[in-house]
Amino acid sequence: MKEKIHVLTNIMSHQYTNEELTSLTKKEVYAIARKLADAQTTPQAAISKYSKDKLVDYIEEVQKMAIQSVEAQDKVETANAEAIPTPEEFFERVKRYNTKLEIHRACNELLEKLETEYAPSTVSKKLTYYKKPFYTFTHEKEELNEIITTTKGANKQSIAANLLKLSQEQNKVLNESREESELARKGVTAEGEIREVELPEVEIKKVIEKAIPLLKADQPELITCGILPLIGLRRNEQQMPYRTYLIDGELVDIQREFKVVGKFLIAVQGLSKKHGDRSWFLRPTLVPAEMIIEAQKRFLTFPKVRELTGDYEKFNDSALRKSTDRRFKEIWGDEFSTIEAYSEKGVKIDNNASTHKSRAFYIWALFPVLKYNKYNLKQAKAYLQRCLGHDDSKDTEKYFNRYDENQFTQGVDIEIPLNLKEVGKATEEKVFELAKEWEEEKLLEAQEKAEAEAEVKQEQLENLSSSFEGESKESSEETPLDKFIEEVIKGLSNKLQAEFSRLSVATKNPAKALTILINNLEKINTPPPKKVDIVEDSLKEIFGGIFLYNSAQPEDRDKVYPTYSLVNKIYSKLLDKEVGVTVYQRVFDELKTDIEEKVRLQNITEKQNNFHRKRMPQTIVKIVQYVDHV
C-alpha cells in the first residue's frame, strides 16, 4: 500500500493539483493513464512495471482521495468559520470573565482562529471591530483594567483591548505588503525602479455627464455607481440605511440621513469611522444636490436595500455589495483605473477601478474649482479633508496620491462654499438653519422668476396697446403707405390675401399685418438645418452607447454585442440612413482593443443578440437613449 501511495503521489505531484484532479472526467483519466504508461522518463519510469489498467485504477483512486480531501478541508474551514464569534458575541463573552487567565485565553483563541482563516491585512481590519467595545468598557475588578495614554489623554479600558493585536510575524508580512502596494501606487516597482507610464487624461465634465443618467437607473447598484463619484461617500455610507455600533456595551443603530442645504451643498449624518457619532458633515456635490437626494430616495425603495441590516460584516458579504463592485468596475474601469493597471506604454492591462477610488476622483474634481478661487495646495487639502470628514490629514493625502493632477482636464463650474468653515462637521442647529435658508432662497428665486414672467407679459400688453394709438384717423385720402400695401396685396394669391385680411382685423394695423405675413412666409420657405453626419464619430458614439446600455442590464442575456447588423440599425434610427460595412469595420478595428476589453468584462458574445430578435426594435430604442449620453 505504501508503494502504491508513493507511486500515485509521484504521478500527481508532477501532473495535477487536487483541485484539477477533482474536475477530471473518466475519459481524461484514461488519457492520462495512457500517457503515463507510454512515458519512459522520471517520474513515469517509476511506474513502468504497472499495466495501463492498473494505472487507470490508481488514478481513479487518487481522484476519489483528492475529492475526499477537498471535502474534508471544506468541513474544517466551515467549522473554523462557524467557530469564530462576531465582535458582539466575543465582547459579551469576555466581559463576564473574572480572571486575567480567562481573558488571555479567549483573546489568544480568537487570534489563532483569525490567523488560520485570513491574511494579516484582513485580520488587522477585523481586529479593529473586536477591540472597539473594550476601549470604553471597564471591569468591576480593577486588575482587569488598565490606563492607556492616547492623543485625547488618559483612557481607562479593559485589558482585552491591548491583547487583540497582530503577532510580530503578521506585522512584518502586513508592513511589507503595505510598502509594496504603496510603491506600486506611486509608480515604483518592488525592486525600486521608477515606472514611466503615460496615463490617459480623464475629463471631469464627461465623468459627471456619464454619472447623471445612472442616477435615474432602475437598479440600486447602478444608482450607487452614479452617486459615489458625485459626492465622494464610502460605499457603505451610501448603501447602508443605518449602521449598528457597540457603544458602552449596547448595540446602537445610527441612521444615515441626507439633507440639501444649498444648490451644490449637502449634509450627511452617520459617516463611517466616527464610532457611532451622530454629527452632521457638510460637503459640496458635483451636480445640484437635489439630484443626489432624489436618487438616494429611489435607491432606498429597492427590496434588496430594505433587507440590509446595520451589521457591517454582513453588508460586506451581501450580494448587493458584491454586484455593486462588479458593476462599478464595468462602468468606471477606463476612468478610475490607476497606474498599477497600465503598462509602460500606457496600455490598460488590468481594471482596478473601485468604489473607494471614486472618493479620490471626487477631491480631484473639486480641486480645480478651489484652485481657480485662489486656494493653494495646502489650503485646498485642508478644505477637502473637511469634505471627506477625515480627522487626520494623512488619510486625505492617500486619496491625493491615487492620481496625478495633470490626469484631470475639463473641470466644471459649480457654486461651492469658499469659506473653509462652511464645510465639514456641523451642529444639527447649523444644518437645519442652512436647510431653511436654502428653502427660502428657492422660494425667492421662484417669486423672482414669476415676477420676471409677469413683467414680460405686461410689456407685451403695452406694446399691443401702443399699436392702437398709432392708428390713423379715418380719411377719404389714401397715404402713400396705404397705396403701397394695397399694391403688394393685389399681387398675392387668394389664400395669402385672406390671411392678410385676418391679420389686419386682429392687429388693426395693415402695416403690422403685412410684416407678420412676410415673416411667416420666410419661416415657411426656410429649409430645416441639415444634420451633420460625421460617420465615424457617430459610430464611436453608438459603440459607447451599446456598452453603457450593457452595463445597466441586470442579466448577461439582456446585453448585446455590437455586430454590424445591430450598429447599422441604430445608425439608421438616429440618422435615417445606413452605414457601409467597410466603415463599420474600420471603426471596429480602431476601437478593437477597447471593445475586446469591454466584451470580456461584460461577458457577452454575438449569440446573445438572438435573445433580442423578437424585441430588437424596443431594445434599439433603449440603446439610443444611452447613445445620447455618450
Within 508-561, residue ranges assigned H as helices are: 510-525, 535-551
pLDDT at 615 over 80: no
Task: Return the pLDDT at 330.
Answer: 92
**pLDDT mean over 111-137:** 89
Instruction: For the chain, list the domains and their CATH numbers.
Output: 2-74 (no CATH), 84-165 (no CATH), 202-426 (1.10.443.30), 478-519 (no CATH), 535-627 (no CATH)
Task: Return the pLDDT at 507.
Answer: 76
If pLDDT is split at 50, 70 and 90, which confidence band does 41 have?
A: very low
Task: Measure the CA–CA gap between 605 and 378, rounded to whole angstroms.
Answer: 50
Within 204-318, residue ranges assigned H as helices are: 204-214, 220-231, 235-239, 289-299, 303-306, 312-316
Task: Return the pLDDT at 60.
Answer: 65
One-letter amino acid at 616 equals M
Average pLDDT, the chain: 81
With helix as H, strand as E and coil as C, how does 183-229 read?
HHHCCECCCCCECCCCCCCEEHHHHHHHHHHHCCCCCHHHHHHHHHH
The candidate with the shortest Cα–Cα distance to 113, out of 75, 145, 81, 143, is: 81
pTM attached to this predicted model: 0.56
**What's the Cα-to-Cα distance from 178 to each of 120, 140, 196, 354, rounded to whole Å?**
11, 40, 22, 18
Interhelix angle 357-372/204-214, nearest 10 degrees = 130
Contact 55, 47 (CB under 8 A): yes
**pLDDT mean over 45-56:** 53
Helices (H) and strands (E) in the chain, counts: 28, 10
Please write the tens of the pLDDT for every residue from 248-278. Answer: 777 888 999 999 999 999 999 999 888 778 8
Three-state secondary structure call for residue 417: coil
Q: What is the maximum span of the chain, computed from C-alpha positions, in angstroms?
A: 135
pLDDT at 470 over 60: no
Lowest mean per-residue pLDDT among 344-348, 599-603, 621-625 = 344-348
pLDDT at 207 over 90: yes
If pLDDT is split at 50, 70 and 90, which confidence band does 426 have?
A: very high
Q: Which residue has the cell 386682429?
A: 506
Task: Return the pLDDT at 4.
Answer: 43
Task: Return the pLDDT at 214.
Answer: 95
Task: Measure the CA–CA gap between 401 and 185, rounded to whole angstroms.
Answer: 7
Taking the CB of residue 140, how many other CB atoms lie within 10 A of it?
A: 7
Q: Where are the beta strands (DSSP E) in 390-484?
A: 408-409, 424-426
Q: What is the dihedral of CA 306, 307, 311, 316, to 10 degrees?
A: -100
Q: Say which residues have a Cβ less than 8 Å from residue 136's Cβ, sequence separation at least 6.
A: 157, 247, 248, 249
Task: Return the pLDDT at 258.
Answer: 94
**pLDDT mean over 48-59:** 58
Please write the tens of the pLDDT for every residue from 517-530. Answer: 787 776 555 554 44
Task: Return the pLDDT at 36.
Answer: 57
Cis peptide before 562 (omega within 30 of 0): no
- What residues does 255 pair with on adjacent strands? 242
Please write the tens of the pLDDT for every residue from 150-198. Answer: 777 888 999 999 999 998 888 888 888 777 777 776 677 766 777 777 7
Q: Say which residues have a Cβ less than 8 Å from residue 123's Cβ, sequence separation at least 6.
A: 111, 114, 115, 166, 170
Taking the CB of residue 50, how many other CB atoms lie within 10 A of it?
A: 16
Q: Which residue has the cell 495633470?
A: 406
| Grid cell listed for 196 | 514611466
If pLDDT is split at 50, 70 and 90, which confidence band does 597 have?
A: confident
Q: Say which residues have a Cβ less than 8 Å from residue 374's Cβ, sequence separation at least 6.
A: none
| Grid cell listed for 245 | 455600533
Q: Which residue has the cell 445608425?
A: 571
**pLDDT mean over 17-43:** 55
Task: Measure the CA–CA gap between 197 and 340, rounded to whole angstroms.
Answer: 10
Task: Return the pLDDT at 209.
Answer: 94
Lowest mean per-residue pLDDT among 268-277, 427-436, 527-536 = 527-536
